[in-house]
Chain A
Amino acid sequence: MADTEKIPPPPEATIAAPKVAEATVPSAEISPGRGRQIGGFLLRLGPVWALVALAILGTVLNEDFLSPANVSNVLTRSAIVGLVAIGATFVLSAGMIDLSVGSLAALIAGAMILSMNEFSSSISSFPLLLTVGVAIALGLGALGGALNGLIITRGKVDSFIVTLGTMGIFRSVITYVQDGGAATLKSGLREQMRPLYYGSFLGISAPVWTLIVLTLVAIVVMHKTRLGRYALAIGSNREVARYSGIKTDRVSLLVFILQGLCVGLATIIYVPRLGAASITTGAGWELEAITAVVVGGTALRGGHACVSGTVAGIVMLSLVGNILNLTSNLSNLLNGAIQGAIIIAAVLLQRRTRT
């Protein structure tokens, strides 16, 4: 809509500005600004440089590191949490946090497996059965996200607290339903579902394709739609967003639903990998996802997001694990320690370049 011409007419010449003084920005910030731009540029490339460095390190330690098989393996393994992390990019850029994603994944996985087993006797067509499973996964994901979002916006409770609560609730509900044990897909179903994880096209595995597509969609949503702009505005300053006529509650709710859908999608790919879900399914995903987002350059306090950085972050994290597996010098039991060091280093680097 070209409504811009309806903006009140320009001030007439009589009230033209005193140009002298107003033209200068409070100059104190001019030169640090330039420094910050360069810093920001390096920062945006930060995850990429780190990836390159890790790849070199990996090759030095083990020549098989860059073999197609290994690379494909690393990427495929990162894809599942990568899907979750893309949702988390939206949540964090809106200045909130979702700790319940791992538990939600466990709930969805359990529900999907149990219901597909149940329906397999009445629905003989596998595509139809799969559709039901997918619908259940995405539906539960959206529902879980909506639950988080509604409590946060209606109850005006901090997202950290709400999702800390639902993190316990989701996992405990599915643990109870599964009676403390694992849920396993019927073996026939399992075979039929395998391609969702193990299939590949043009030499690229299905999970990686999913990640690529979702990344592209997320970049568009984040930077080319009102939803993304509003989420960033809320993350930058919720009050300013509200006073700009943005329905901040509705945007927050949508962001959490988006996160839930991402978890649903990740779980759909996760289930055929093992064909089972245990009570520890998805454990630690929330931290891995948040780590990837922050390492990728999205501000933890919100207002700035980098979707491709998140993907770089998640690949970096699984590269670390992979390198540890490929070398005998360092135990891969130290994986957690190294990932922890990476997130701290990333935040320190951000602080240095931002302020």
Chain B
Amino acid sequence: MKSAPAEANSASPRLEVRRLGMTFGSVQVLRDINVTVAPGEIHAVCGENGAGKSTLMKILSGIHRPTTGEVFFEGKPAHYHSVSDAEAAGIMMIHQEFTLASSLTVQQNFFLGRELLTGPFFRDREMDAKTRDALALVGCSVTPNRRIIDLSVSECQLVEIAKMLARNASVLILDEPTAVLTRREVRLLLQRIRELSDRGVSILYVSHKLDEILAIAHRVTILRDGRLVLTENVTALSEARIVRHMVGREIDELFRPKEKVADSDQPALEVEKFRVEKFIDDASFSLQRGEILGFAGLIGSGRTELWEGILGLRPGHGTIRRNGRTMRFKNYTDALFKGHVAYLSEDRKGKGILLDFKLRPNATLAALRRICGFVLSAKKEEAAWQAMIKTYDIHAASFDVPARLLSGGNQQKLALGKLLATNPEVVVLDEPTRGIDTGAKQQIYALIHQLAEAGKAVVVISSELPEIIGLCHRVAVLANKRIAAIAEGPDINEETIMRHATGVARETAGLAA
């Protein structure tokens, strides 16, 4: 399946980084980095958050200029002063957050700022055709006149890549391109990336997902604390070896063995015949204290929407019972403080934390009424915050900074800590480890186990099946606007879950829905 590694040391690398160093103020972020990328090579870059991956990519894509050392592109020194310089040369970066204008169409986005004109008028037909060609290159069937806002996340990802290709990218930098994709979409995307590489496009692939890296990369560079630890052909690497080099030590088992949850006649939460306009027609399930219940399904299957409906974050209808008592959550405040159900959003930056607020007011925001009463007390807030730093092991160079300066993992711990400070009995975690590094992931898994052990009922919504499989006692699989199956015991495996998620299992189902 995997094509042979490109000749890494061929005569003329497309991109070469020599003795590159970078300091911000007094902090050395990168030191003595040497990397070459051959034409058509897929070169993976991994490392934990803060290892310097993003800074290196930002230098290559023209956002930052290196303090020392040089970058050579096709053998010539490359002194880029801006992103457009780098793009003109053919080096393009696709960021985790998309840069598409959501109210414009695909075609308008493709040609934004470089429209084809006859006099003052657009040559729409020609631009449509070119857009279609570029989309075909990445196997995306979206029509050029669709608006970005109507596309799924994975379609946006492909559109973004196609846009770069249409601009003659010869080096494509992908930053966590699969963070928001489902397994099947990931497979498709990786296939497209292989095809691009076959056509001679060099790819720098930044990801936390080691299985993808092993599946797709020719060579892997590992960074730790701003230094290059290792560059190696992928054939000589294993997942364990990469992790060891990233972390600098052996990583413990991520998941604990599952203990049986005691069945009780009174579940912590029961949901019956729940309906959420456009997303869910019928969902019924129950949740025990001490249980970790997974919610799997393809993107767009309504996992998030179902829970937002239940928790009063969007309109929903159905019966909800907490400890046997029927409840209605008019809004999320009711769910959180009357129902004691907390929800961690999948959208950390848009819904999880206030990026412009300092850490402490972020940390106390949800539980403020429990911490202080109406009049605030800096002392009580500080005590709660200090406890949170310890409990959730939050790290920052300084604690007196806006939350946007934290790494992804620490932001996630802050968001979690904020919610758990309300002392909920049911905890719903939506993509709890999206876009965070292995170390933080491990901590969050441990925390989830602890919550369950402490008698909380935990829900984990996730696109990462290994996570669902490793953590959950039972797994509800959503498909076709309903719960297609609730898998238990040996049925919690990738194949069974995917069969239900894709709807294949509907006819031949051996599982009770």
Contact = CB atoms under 8 A, between A and B. Distances in A.
Contact of A245 (B345, B388, B422): B422
Contacts, number: 206
Contacts of B361: 229, 233
B375 A225 contact: yes
A24 B50 contact: yes
Interface in A1-60: 1-12, 14-31, 33-34
Interface in A104-161: none
A4 B50 contact: no
Contacts of B369: 226
Interface string A207-233: 000000000000000011111011011
A352 interface: no
B49 A22 contact: yes
Contact of B354 (A8, A17, A237): A237
B350 A239 contact: yes
Contacts of B68: none
A225 B374 contact: yes
A171 interface: no
A4 B417 CA distance: 11
Interface in B301-349: 313, 331-333, 335-337, 343, 345, 347
B218 interface: no
B365 interface: yes
B225 A21 contact: yes
Given A4-B383, A229-B361, A239-B350, A31 B50 contact: no
A15 B248 contact: no
Interface in B204-247: 224-225, 247
A15 B443 contact: yes
Query: Which of the listed residues A3, A6, A243, A304 has the most CB atoms from chain B within 10 Å of its own CB?
Result: A243
B361 to A, nearest CB: 7
Interface in A263-293: none
Interface string B342-380: 010101001111111100010001111111111110001
Nearest to A29: B405
A242 B49 contact: no
Interface in A169-223: 223
Nearest to B53: A26
A303 interface: yes
A275 B224 CA distance: 75
A245 B421 contact: no
B260 interface: no
Given A229-B376, A247-B331, A31 B24 contact: yes
Contacts of A2: 380
B418 interface: yes
Interface stretch (B163-171, B445-453, B473-481): B445-453
Contact of A21 (B49, B352, B391): B49
A224 B375 contact: yes
A304 B313 CA distance: 26
B420 interface: yes
Given A28-B54, A28-B64, A245-B336, A17 B443 contact: yes
Given A18-B248, A20-B225, A233-B365, A8 B27 contact: no
B504 interface: no
A21 B224 contact: yes
B247 A27 contact: no
A4 to B, nearest CB: 5
Contacts of B418: 244
B423 interface: yes
A66 interface: no
B126 interface: no
A168 to B, nearest CB: 30
Contact of B387 (A7, A34, A230): A7
B488 interface: no
B249 interface: yes
A224 B378 CA distance: 9
A4 B451 contact: no
B405 A25 contact: yes
A241 B357 CA distance: 12
A246 interface: yes
Contact of B420 (A8, A31, A237, A239): A8
Given A3-B371, A20-B224, A25 B48 contact: no
B390 interface: yes
Contacts of A27: 24, 27, 29, 50, 55, 397
A9 B387 CA distance: 10
A330 interface: no
A231 B50 CA distance: 33
Nearest to A302: B356
A283 B447 CA distance: 58
A240 interface: yes
Contact of A22 (B335, B365, B410): B410
A247 B336 CA distance: 11
Given A9-B450, A11-B450, A18-B247, A243 B24 contact: no
Interface in B416-444: 417-423, 437, 439-440, 442-443
Nearest to B246: A21
A335 interface: no
B50 A243 contact: no
A237 B450 CA distance: 31
A332 interface: no
B147 interface: no
B390 A10 contact: yes
Given A15-B442, A34-B25, A243-B313, A25 B225 contact: no
A8 to B, nearest CB: 6
B406 interface: yes
A1 B371 contact: yes
A17 B395 contact: yes
B407 interface: yes
Contact of A225 (B376, B384, B454): B376
Given A27-B55, A243-B352, A22 B395 contact: yes
A236 interface: yes
B21 interface: no
B409 interface: yes
B24 A240 contact: no
A31 B352 contact: no
A31 B28 CA distance: 11
Interface in B108-127: none
B401 interface: yes
A15 B421 contact: no
A227 B375 CA distance: 9
B393 interface: yes
Given A18-B247, A25-B397, A244 B366 contact: yes
A41 to B, nearest CB: 13
B495 interface: no
17 contacts: A3-B370, A3-B423, A4-B384, A7-B388, A11-B393, A21-B51, A21-B225, A22-B49, A27-B397, A30-B24, A236-B356, A240-B350, A240-B352, A243-B313, A244-B419, A245-B332, A245-B337
Given A3-B367, A31-B27, 4 more contacts: A8-B447, A8-B450, A21-B48, A28-B58
